[in-house]
Structure 1
Amino acid sequence: MLTKTLLPQSVAREIQTMIQTGVLKPGEKIPSQRAFSQKFRVSRASLREALLTLETLGLIKTEPGRGTFVTGAGAGAGGAMAPWRYADSYSVFDVFQTRLMLEGQIAALAAGRVAQTQLEQMEEATRQMEDCWARQDLLANVEADLAFHGIIVSACSNTMLRALYQNVRQQITETQRQPIPITDPERMRESIAEHRRIIAALRAGDATAARREMETHIRNTARCAGLEP
């Protein structure tokens, strides 16, 4: 049993490991929220957040009236996307459309301002994405993706745009997780190549190319989710 309170992401990682190592097997019903919250010594709210993250990644699925089960389907294995959890506030289309405008402009304003250390961090995050995908560590794959985008935001010259990004980061994060269950290896290779083209544009200080490459990347991610923003 864990001896300290863990953040939802850490709990999600523990459960992902249980699935990957066969402690929790495909088709198996996971323990009750009460049992799991006691095991990990976290609140039920933190546990629910961890389970929602894993469901978005396609590792578990909740069936009303029956419980939550391990899917047994890794990324690109014919799974289905989880329901959009922010539907009461914004559609997933709205969020992708906002990402196009917001992150495209952020990338343009970051061009010429990204430090060499930040470029290296972005390259490392992209390598981690590639490595974690190969190992089907889906949580770490998305974490590396979020780090990549976050570095660009930190280099943007406009403080209000940086604040706007933070205000909608939860919804943006969900659009980066949600397509994972239906992302095949070829699409992930393309996504990683898109990251490297964004890095090249930022390194060159080319604002027009940085905007174009970022918008292309977001549009392609949206298409993977079945949308045309």
Structure 2
Amino acid sequence: MEKEIIGKIKQTTICEKIVAKILDLVEQGVYQPGELLPTERDFSEMFGVGRSSVREALRVLQSMEIVEKRAGSGSYLTDIPVGAARIFNTSQMIEAFNVLDMSEARQALEVQTVALAARRASGDQIEAMAEANARLEEAVERGDKEEIVECDFRVHKAIAEGSQNVFMCSMLDALAVVLLKSNIEVMSEDKTKAALEYHRRIIDRIQAGDEEGAREAMAGHIRDVKERVTKGIKNK
């Protein structure tokens, strides 16, 4: 039996609104960990939005590890605590802050996170960072912008997990809702190549246990991203 969804999302809203709506439903207990979620078509009809917007929202939730996509089966809700992953109410965050605000917040957050990762990350966690960056490189070769941005976030997620600070990981998840979309809009070949190189430096410094070197590498990376996002916005 289809579960009733109260209130449709207006066509003019963006994917962040859909993400917020799905997270609301999870927190209300409408969907349970391990449960198969409605299809893109079902969500589209429930919310009154296009399937492409639903698809984008599910990608964001997958990057946040709230949703797991299984080939040939569908999208399933994971057991990641939604409350921790959405420190902010997503829709309010989108309305209150712009992309540059988020980029500055990301810089403050990730520079500290990477220093903790250099101090605390296990061998397995460092290996996970390198594997995530390798998947990003493969995505770059395929040229799929959405996949590239998603893989890029997974590198940063792996680094955050290396900090072994749950709160910082959750903060990064919250920022991802905004930054994934903005990064798709300013994606370029030069940007992805620069990101890959920065990631290699960052992971190298983490592996060496060099907190200050890791900070400097991450700060340079985030500054570069911010400059590209700023340029992209000005050119619109």
Q: Give the TM-score category using the shorter length.
A: 0.5 to 0.7
The aligned length equals: 159
Whichever structure has more helix as a proportion of its residues is 2
Tell me the CA shift for residue 87 of structure 1.
4.4
Q: What is the aligned counterpart of 1:141 among 138, 141, 148?
A: 148
In the other structure, the counterpart of 1:224 is 228
In the other structure, the counterpart of 1:62 is none
CA contact (8 A) 1:198 1:213 kept: yes
Structure 2 counterpart of 1:188, one-letter code? T
Structure 1 counterpart of 2:41, one-letter code? F
CA contact (8 A) 1:99 1:172 kept: no
Relative to structure 1, is the Cα distance of residues 222 and 39 closer, same or farther in structure 2, using a 3 angstrom cutoff?
closer
CA RMSD of aligned residues (A): 2.8
Q: What is the aligned counterpart of 2:136 among 129, 133, 156?
A: 129
Separation of aligned partners in 1, 2:106 and 2:39: 38
Tell me the CA shift for residue 190 of structure 1.
0.8
Q: TM-score, length-normalised on structure 2?
A: 0.58
Structure 1, unaligned stretches of length 5 or more? 1-11, 13-36, 55-84
CA contact (8 A) 1:146 1:173 kept: no
Q: Deviation string for 1:85-133 (max 9, x for gaps)?
A: 8541212121111111111001111113212222222111111112112
Relative to structure 1, is the Cα distance of residues 130 and 209 closer, same or farther in structure 2, using a 3 angstrom cutoff?
same
Separation of aligned partners in 1, 2:146 and 2:100: 23
CA contact (8 A) 2:116 2:211 kept: yes
CA contact (8 A) 2:149 2:183 kept: no
Structure 2, unaligned stretches of length 5 or more? 1-14, 16-37, 60-90, 232-236
After superposition, residues 58-97 of structure 1 pair within 5 angstroms as 87-97=94-104
Q: Indicate the SS of the match to 1:112.
A: helix
Separation of aligned partners in 2, 1:219 and 1:39: 36
In the other structure, the counterpart of 1:152 is 159
In the other structure, the counterpart of 2:187 is 183
